[in-house]
Amino acid sequence: MNCQKCKIEIEDRDMRRESLSDAAEAHMSACANCRVFGEERLALRRLVGGLEKVSAPADFDFRMRARMAAERSVAAPRAAWFNFSPAALSWPLAGCLALVVSASLYFQPQRPDTTPTVPAEQARAATPSPQTSQTSQTSVAAVTPQSDQAASHETQPGVEAVSSNVSLAQRRRAASPRLVVRTGVERESVQVEESTSTSLIGATPRFASNGATRTESALIPVQLDAPEGQLKVLLRDTRGGARTISVDSVSFGSRDVMGRPGATFSKASLSSNQGVW
Amino acid sequence: MSAISSVDELILPARASVARQTAVAEPLSDHSLLEAARTGDEAAFAELVRRYRNQITNYIYRLTNDYEGAVDLAQETFMRVYRAADRYQATYAFSTYIYRIATNLAISELRQRKRRRLVSLTGFFQTQDQAGEPVELDPADKRPLQDATLVDDERRAAVTRAIASLPEKYRAPLVLRDIEERSYEEIGRILEMSEGTVKSRISRARTFLRDKLQGYL
């Protein structure tokens, strides 16, 4: 055995056995350098290994448990937050959904009508042929397009539409007394009557007869060459009451000019106006 | 109602019940205890703490040379074991696992301490070791000592200071080998280095110590 191997064995020696191999012992007895090295290492290891062992304090476990408890108390809400899963909210979400659906169904019949205008084609289709009334006026159908059911009656004559409207309101009233409060003001059907002096041949009046409070949506086109005259609007409510309103026609002067006898007009062509502007 | 037989039972009653249980049957292995702790058995974890609290405290104290800090770090070591119980894999011995955690904590503490280290008055006399790290001047006291008790105290203090002055990469292997008496193989696993590196560093550390403790050998 050489010195290097002997020193390695001295270094690797387990202090609990404290015994070297016979070859190392023989080398150390012969080699003073290795013997000194071995003695130094042995003394050093005894010195280091002989240090007193420090122990944990008596309250180590107590402090340990306190730290663990503090850790749990802090980690509990955090863990609950990180363990969030959508499935945990399934029942509350289902309850909210059911509440929203039931509330929408409950309040749906009480909504005000939001379809004030009837398209011209529907109004035209719903308009019956001019019929002679007591005042020999042209009666126009009253249309109350407030629901799909009512819309289905638009193709019927106005009187029937009104009656169906009334029956619908009565059904609602009978079904739900609460509706009476909301729909206490019966909607009035609108009839537009044109006086004989203002017979608008070929011009079917357009109007929206959603109610008396919605007269602003009644559109009645008037031809420019039509003679001047009053427009009478007959308002009938479902209780049978009727009211006639006279509406003066609005003229901006063109009808006056065109209505003068002997007035002749020629169309101005674009080419004739070239160079003027 | 049973009477409390010890302070430990007062502090950790669950642990005392496990202790009684294990006194009758064979002591559970560390792996079994950690497995039980993983399922929420605090008594099993308390038993693990009881087995290793002194070793870990002593080990960290030898590395940091600060008793209060060592106690705190030992507790932090157990807390990390407790937190990571679910991820523990019984590939090696539990002692290897817990010593590795303790070593990492102690080395982190030493590095933090180095960052906030104050300028030493003896810094002018500092030398550098082969790794380039400054070594505090600690000349051997060669005066004759008078009393055996004082000699022992002085010797212990000198050895403690000498160990504390070692570079950390030499200190941990030396403490594990010469104080904790761990095998080279286990030290290699704890420090995550090869066995040859461990032997080399231990030899280097002993050479440093021999130079510092020349008067006590």
The ranges assigned to domains in chain A are 3-48, 120-259
Domain total of chain B: 2
pLDDT band at B137 (very low <50, low <70, confident <90, very high): low
Domain interval for residue B191: 119-217
Chain B from 26 to 55: CB within 8 A of any A CB: 42, 46, 49-50, 53-54
Helix axes B13-24, B42-64, angle to 10 degrees: 100
> Same domain for B108 and B145?
no
> Same domain for B90 and B27?
yes
> Same domain for B22 and B101?
yes
pLDDT of residue B188: 94
Interface test mutation site (partner B, options A64, A65, A67, A71, max chain B beta carbons within 10 A): A64
Sequence-distant (≥ 6) Cβ neighbours of residue A150 within 8 angstroms = A144, A161, A164, A165, A168
User: Which residues of B fall within a CB distance of 8 Å from A68?
Assistant: 42, 79, 82
Closest partner residue to B12 (CB to CB) among A43, A61, A67 is A61
Chain B from 167 to 206: CB within 8 A of any A CB: 174, 178-179, 181, 184, 199, 202-203, 206
Q: Which of A240-244, A263-267, B98-102, B133-137 has the weakest average pLDDT?
A: A263-267
Give the CATH number, domain containing residue B171: 1.10.10.10
CB distance from B62 to chain A under 8 Å? yes
Query: Mean pLDDT over residues B100-119, rounded?
Result: 84
For residue B117, give how far its alpha carbon lies from the nearest alpha carbon of chain A (Å): 25
Tens of pLDDT, residues B96-109: 999 999 999 999 99
Tokens of A37: 């090295």
> Same domain for B64 and B148?
no
Count residue pairs from A and B with Cβ separation < 8 A: 91
> Same domain for B42 and B79?
yes
Answer yes or no: do B78 and A41 touch at CB < 8 A: no
Query: Mean pLDDT over residues A64-71, rounded?
Result: 86
Is residue A28 within 8 Å of residue A9, measured between CB atoms? no
Separation of first and last alpha carbons in chain B: 58
State whether residue A224 is helix, strand or coil. Answer: coil
Q: Which of B63, B20, B50 lies closest to B190 in space, CA to CA? A: B63
- Among positive and negative, which fits the CA dihedral B156, B157, B160, B166? negative
> Same domain for B6 and B97?
yes
Chain A from 5 to 44: CB within 8 A of any B CB: 8, 11-12, 15-16, 40-41, 43-44
Closest partner residue to A57 (CB to CB) among B62, B71, B181 is B71
| Residue in the block written with tokens 């719903």 | A126
Tens of pLDDT, residues B161-209: 999 999 989 999 999 999 998 999 999 999 999 999 999 999 999 999 9
Answer yes or no: do B217 and A62 touch at CB < 8 A: no
> Same domain for B74 and B88?
yes
pLDDT score of B133 more than 50: yes
Top mean pLDDT of A108-112, B142-146, B199-203 is at: B199-203
> Same domain for B1 and B103?
yes
Q: What 8-state DSSP symbol labels residue A216?
A: G
Answer yes or no: do B53 and A12 touch at CB < 8 A: no
User: Which residues of A fall within a CB distance of 8 Å from B71?
Assistant: 56-57, 60
Q: Which of A47-51, A163-167, A230-234 has the weakest average pLDDT?
A: A163-167
pLDDT band at B17 (very low <50, low <70, confident <90, very high): low
> Same domain for B53 and B146?
no
Answer yes or no: do A61 and B50 touch at CB < 8 A: yes
Answer yes or no: do B206 and A63 touch at CB < 8 A: no
pLDDT band at A190 (very low <50, low <70, confident <90, very high): very low
Tens of pLDDT, residues B59-101: 999 999 899 999 999 999 999 998 888 888 878 889 999 999 9
> Same domain for B1 and B12?
yes
> Same domain for B106 and B56?
yes
Q: Which of B114, B105, B110 lies closest to B73 in space, CA to CA? A: B105
Top mean pLDDT of A148-157, A196-205, B188-197 is at: B188-197
pLDDT band at A121 (very low <50, low <70, confident <90, very high): low
Is residue B70 within 8 Å of residue A55, measured between CB atoms? no
> Same domain for B27 and B93?
yes
For residue A46, give how far its alpha carbon lies from the nearest alpha carbon of chain B (Å): 8
- pTM exceeds 0.90, yes or no: no
The backbone torsions φ and ψ at residue B115, rounded to the nearest 5 degrees and listed phi first, read: -65, -35
CB distance from B82 to chain A under 8 Å? yes
Tokens of B67: 């008793």
| A10-18 contact pairs (CB < 8 A, 24+) | A10/A34, A10/A37, A10/A38, A10/A41, A11/A41, A11/B199, A11/B202, A11/B203, A11/B206, A12/B184, A12/B199, A15/A45, A15/A46, A15/A49, A15/B178, A15/B181, A16/B181, A18/A42
pLDDT score of A64 more than 60: yes
Task: State the Cα–Cα distance between residues B109 and A101, nearest whole angstrom.
Answer: 62
